[in-house]
Amino acid sequence: MPTQTAAELKMAELLVEVLNLEDIEANEIDPNEALFGDGLGLDSIDALEIALAISQQYGVEMKAEDEGTKEAFSTLTSLCGFVEQHKA
């Protein structure tokens, strides 16, 4: 499994905490694995909770209609990249 960066581990910890993921540890999330569908198995409600947590934690707004937001939710790596690009 690819190693997580410090930022990816912090984001993974946020996901585990916000979504109450009991079956997986933050350091077990593959940074290149899909977050939705066959990957981690998240759904649209999870996306809303993640977006709210990212807004609170990092001050980054994620708009559903923005194509960049959809791409950001593909993997842990892309989510971290999106947050880094849009942090104030």
Distance (Å, rounded) from C-alpha 84 to C-alpha 88?
9
**Per-residue tokens: 77:** 């790596």
51-65 pLDDT, tens per residue?
999 999 999 999 888
Q: pLDDT tens, 14-67?
A: 999 999 999 999 999 999 999 998 889 999 999 999 999 999 999 999 988 888
Yes or no: say if 76 and 3 are a contact pair by the CB < 8 Å rule: no
11 has a pLDDT exceeding 70: yes
At the top level of CATH, the class of 6-86 is mainly alpha
